[in-house]
Amino acid sequence: MALFVTFEGGEGCGKSTQARALYKRVSESGIPVVLSHEPGGTSLGKETRRCLKQTREAEVSPLAELFLFAASRAQLVAEVIRPSLGRGAMVICDRYTDSTVAYQGYGRGLDLDAIQAVNAMVTQGLLPDLVILLDLPVEIGLARKSSARQDRFEREELAFHQRVREGYLKMAAAHSQRWLVVDATLPKKEVEQIIWERVKRLL
């Protein structure tokens, strides 16, 4: 069945691990499923990812970030997400529009209404059926990341990551029926089971 699920959260929360775990469970159930990620998932997305996340010192303005993410997302929606949903597959995506609201909106301070307008345009209004937020204190999440391989976002000041987390929690509270907030300090298997129980109901 066509079902769109996204994973969100701050640095080190375990999104990618849990997205892969859910993909494996759904696959084993015999349901057609596609796993993707942002920025990435397409040739254009991979190039954009390198521009946005590499550890070079060159500055990227918040507005440039917004539109680079938007370009990558527009291509992913057109090339991967909509066609997959159209043929009845489940789509799991590691980050989506809510990342832009959290990072470029709450984190960088860009206008939230402007971000929502850009998101709506590049996705043509496509929203996830379920947003899974893996919530974690920022100090714990950043400690999980290797300091030798930190990207541009991981290297931001603590206050930036606090604003991102607060933004996520505000969005989750405002759209509680469509969001599942999971305590990411729990053991991985426990987190995986909580997510699976919610997704099973939708399937």
pLDDT in tens, 42-89: 888 788 877 776 645 567 889 999 999 999 999 999 999 999 999 999
- Report the chain's mean pLDDT, rounded to a whole number: 92
CATH class of 3-202: alpha beta
- Whether the Cβ atoms of residue 33 and residue 23 lie closer than 8 Å to each other: yes
Distance CA(159)–CA(165), nearest Å, equals 10
- Give CA–CA dist 38/40, Å, rounded: 5
Question: Which value, in Å, is the radius of gyration of the alpha carbons in the chain?
Answer: 16
Residue 153: closest CA among 141, 166, 168, 167: 141
Domain ranges of the chain: 3-202
Q: Looking at the whole model, is its pTM more than 0.85?
A: yes
